Structure 1
Amino acid sequence: MNKHSDLASVIADVSTANGLPNAHYIDPSVFEEEKHAVLFANWAGVGFGKDIPEPGDAKPVDFLGMPILLVRDHDGAIGVFQNTCRHRGMILVDKPQKIRGAIRCPYHSWCYNLNGALRTTPHVGGPGRSMHEDINMDELGLFRIKAHVWRDVIFVNVDGAASPFEEVHADLLERWKEFDTPVHHGGASSSFTLQVASNWKLAVENYCESYHLPWVHPGLNSYSRLEDHYNIEERGLYSGQGTLVYRQLKDQSGAVMPDFAGLSDKWDEGAEYVALYPNVLFGIQRDHSFAILLEPQGCETTVEHIEIYYAKSEADTPELTALRDTNATQWKGVFEEDVFVVEGMQKGRHGVLFDGGRFSPVMDGPTHNFHHWVATQIAAGRDA
């Protein structure tokens, strides 16, 4: 596929559409195009607030080669900056750490505060002279990247051109407004990663639909059957699936995890699983939620960062540690069952006769919705 290939068959109605061509999964040049048009041009997830919990905490992130720095400032707010000094472009922070005083460049010791402002420039005017008339410190703060935190996921818009997160995703924020309460991370067992030999998009596509449950997740399907699910499709925004038979986990004594406060009875046995485009997968249930951040590391490699959250903190519910551990183990097992599928689809994309595939108009609507969105983003990038 070349840069000007026709994506009309992808944008067509689900009843006649083809999926994205093979090149979108195996061609490095297309991967580079998608990096800018799909991931940098939209609100992409790059980290979690729980990884920088205290003022002064900083964590560097390599987002598709873009050096990013996540910082919690003295007011507790999260800021995101390009992780390069404004002097000679040196990387400022190379590992997670507590910033005790200032963000100091290890090359020439230019220093920035936690809000990115340039504060000191030692010897910039010569030995012993920390100022120079041609160096305007007010204009040389760190490059701030547009960021928004929702459900502890840190989203960024690298190119800075996207509308505010609250506007772009107003529909999902409204849909899940009952869950607009603080979330508490479940602790060490509730954090894990999966290394997947697959293009990141295939993880989204698989997550979107429930069609595969009977064959890939027989345990889950034994009580949350295919017919107990419904499609969620919001064109251009997100897609996924919901279930009408969520079964709350109990320990041997019958104890359960506390519910999020103020939920309607819809959530007594309901749950929803949504891919928020481009690269964050969310799940919400009455008593816990999770977020999966997909980190593309290359055209055919992805790391899935999985974090589980609860209505009450570990400190407030120490008696539920074992139950949280069991819950995490169960979810990890479900997510691991999907690995062979996304890796198998990745291998299949090297079949030169594959034409992107077809969709079941009944079962694959959420997946087609994602393909449609990716294709429109690429087309918009080419027209820009």
Structure 2
Amino acid sequence: MAKDHATDDLNAVRRNVDTANGLPNEHYTDPATFDAEAKAVLHSSWAGLAVGADVPENGDAKPMEFLGIPLLLLRDKDGDVRVFQNICRHRGMILVDAARKIEGAIRCPYHSWCYSTKGALVSTPHVGGAGHNTHDAIVKEDLGLIEVRSHIWRDVVFINLDGQAEPFEVVNADLIARWHENTAPLYHGGDDSAFALDVQCNWKLAVENFAESYHLPWIHPGLNSYSRLEDHYNIEKPIANTSSGAFSGQGTLVYRQLTAEDGTTFPDFEGLSDKWNEGAEYICLYPNVLLAAQREHAYAIILEPIARDRTIEHVHLYYASPQTDDDLRMRNTAQWKEIFEEDISVVEGMQRGRAAPGFDGGRFSPAMDGPTHCFHDWVAAKMGATADG
């Protein structure tokens, strides 16, 4: 596609929702566009990487990749969660190749350079020749691990790869204010409260699907039987400028708690107003984190963009207490897993549909698709498109 034509197509995404087109096909199918979008959208934003519960104890380390970049998620000796590039500053060797606890220092397996859990280079054996562990050319203070800017909110570890974003609290001030009541501690449910879904679709399709409730009657008939389409409302915080945050999603006025046969429910989070007695909200925090706020449990879904047509959805469930009923907790995980699996055929079907050369990105229902258009508009703005009326 010629550059000026591509620009026109992106500008069309930024029209008002009643006349806008969706993002062009190449944003879902073209490897070069995937790479360009990664830098313009994912590198420049506060993207979700993991959760703090992935490294629960001091010294826990977990190697990860994000867009092909080797990273190390680490809880240091003082309990702070950090993200480093998972490479030695000597020759670029991968430092940690499997999740483990760091006892003492992080040792490079190649030449045994060692780093503290805070990233400082502390040992360079034989660097000045056999038996000489220092050299004037090797300044340890300049060769610590490369730390990736990170921030934790609702236990999600967000990273800003290019280091240029405004502080997380500034970028996402509107959502933080919206959920100002939801500040009680979150306790991860443990191994039975986490799972991953490997989905053959572009990561943006998972965001689009989560943002709207339009599909509930047909894709989630069980959920729609008690939390009906007409019980939902749209949530939209559009982009103000390319450095500001944005989010969208949906809320329900009819949230039903999971209840055991004896009437047991999960304990509620403290400090919530009556709004949350029967209400819940499900929000896409751009670019790639999907969040739920409910009276007695929450969840976070981190979308890992593997390729233009493959995404891994990492799902984590949280509770108001560190101790919850085992059977009820496992039922809750199974219930959400079933709901999220119902969406797989939809997002994979849309991915296959993007191979149709005549498709112009589609149109939006102004009444039902506002949250999805809000996301498309944000992506187009990050890619340099201008508002087109």
TM-score, scaled relative to structure 1: 0.97
Q: Do the aligned partners of residues 124 and 2 (structure 1) sit closer, same or farther apart at CA in structure 2, a change above 3 Å counting?
A: farther
1:379 aligned to which of 363, 381, 384: 384
* CA distance in structure 1 between the partners assigned to 2:137 and 2:338 by the alignment: 59
* CA distance in structure 1 between the partners assigned to 2:100 and 2:192 by the alignment: 22
Q: What's the offset of the Cα at 1:46? A: 0.8
Q: What's the offset of the Cα at 1:86? A: 0.6
Letter aligned with residue 323 of structure 1: L
1:196 aligned to which of 199, 202, 207: 199
**SS of 1:33's equivalent?**
helix
Does 176-185 or 234-243 show the bigger shift?
176-185
1:370 maps to 2:379: no
Q: What's the offset of the Cα at 1:282? A: 0.3
**SS of 1:259's equivalent?**
coil
Q: What's the offset of the Cα at 1:182? A: 1.2
Letter aligned with residue 382 of structure 2: Q
1:123 aligned to which of 126, 140, 160: 126
2:274 aligns with: 265
* CA distance in structure 1 between the partners assigned to 2:94 and 2:269 by the alignment: 41
* CA distance in structure 1 between the partners assigned to 2:366 and 2:351 by the alignment: 23
Q: What's the offset of the Cα at 1:217? A: 0.5
Q: Do the aligned partners of residues 194 and 3 (structure 1) sit closer, same or farther apart at CA in structure 2, a change above 3 Å counting?
A: farther
1:144 maps to 2:147: yes
Q: Do the aligned partners of residues 114 and 2 (structure 1) sit closer, same or farther apart at CA in structure 2, a change above 3 Å counting?
A: farther
Q: What is the aligned residue count? A: 377
1:36 aligns with: 39
1:10 aligns with: 13
1:283 aligned to which of 292, 302, 313: 292
Letter aligned with residue 53 of structure 1: P
* CA distance in structure 1 between the partners assigned to 2:81 and 2:369 by the alignment: 37
1:216 maps to 2:253: no
* CA distance in structure 2 between the partners assigned to 1:380 and 1:321 by the alignment: 50
**SS of 1:36's equivalent?**
helix
Alignment of 1:132-171 (within 5 A): 132-171=135-174
* CA distance in structure 2 between the partners assigned to 1:64 and 1:322 by the alignment: 37
Q: What's the offset of the Cα at 1:328? A: 1.0
Give identity over the alignment, percent. Answer: 61
* CA distance in structure 2 between the partners assigned to 1:105 and 1:312 by the alignment: 39
* CA distance in structure 2 between the partners assigned to 1:254 and 1:323 by the alignment: 11
Gaps of 5+ in 2: 240-245
Q: What's the offset of the Cα at 1:188? A: 2.2
1:310 maps to 2:319: yes
2:81 aligns with: 78
* CA distance in structure 2 between the partners assigned to 1:379 and 1:61 by the alignment: 30
| Structure 1 vs Structure 2 CA RMSD | 1.1
1:346 maps to 2:351: yes
* CA distance in structure 1 between the partners assigned to 2:173 and 2:25 by the alignment: 33
1:323 aligns with: 328
* CA distance in structure 2 between the partners assigned to 1:172 and 1:37 by the alignment: 22
2:248 aligns with: 239
**Any idea what the Cα deviations from partners look like across 1:172-228, whole Å, max 9, x if unmatched?**
111111111211111222111111110000000000000000110001001111110
1:300 aligned to which of 297, 309, 315: 309
Does 294-303 or 181-190 show the bigger shift?
181-190
Contact 2:210 2:284 in 1 (8 A): yes
TM-score, scaled relative to structure 2: 0.95
* CA distance in structure 1 between the partners assigned to 2:3 and 2:160 by the alignment: 24
**Any idea what the Cα deviations from partners look like across 1:236-287, whole Å, max 9, x if unmatched?**
2100000000011110111110000010000000000000000000011100
**SS of 2:384's equivalent?**
helix
The runs of at least 4 aligned residues of structure 1 exceeding 2 Å deviation read 1-4
**SS of 1:81's equivalent?**
strand
Q: What's the offset of the Cα at 1:380? A: 7.3
**SS of 1:302's equivalent?**
strand
Q: Do the aligned partners of residues 193 and 360 (structure 1) sit closer, same or farther apart at CA in structure 2, a change above 3 Å counting?
A: same
**Any idea what the Cα deviations from partners look like across 1:82-127, whole Å, max 9, x if unmatched?**
1111111111111111000101111111111001011011111111
1:361 aligns with: 366
Gaps of 5+ in 1: none
Q: What's the offset of the Cα at 1:325? A: 1.0
1:57 aligns with: 60
1:253 maps to 2:257: no
Q: What's the offset of the Cα at 1:368? A: 0.2
2:175 aligned to which of 172, 175, 184: 172
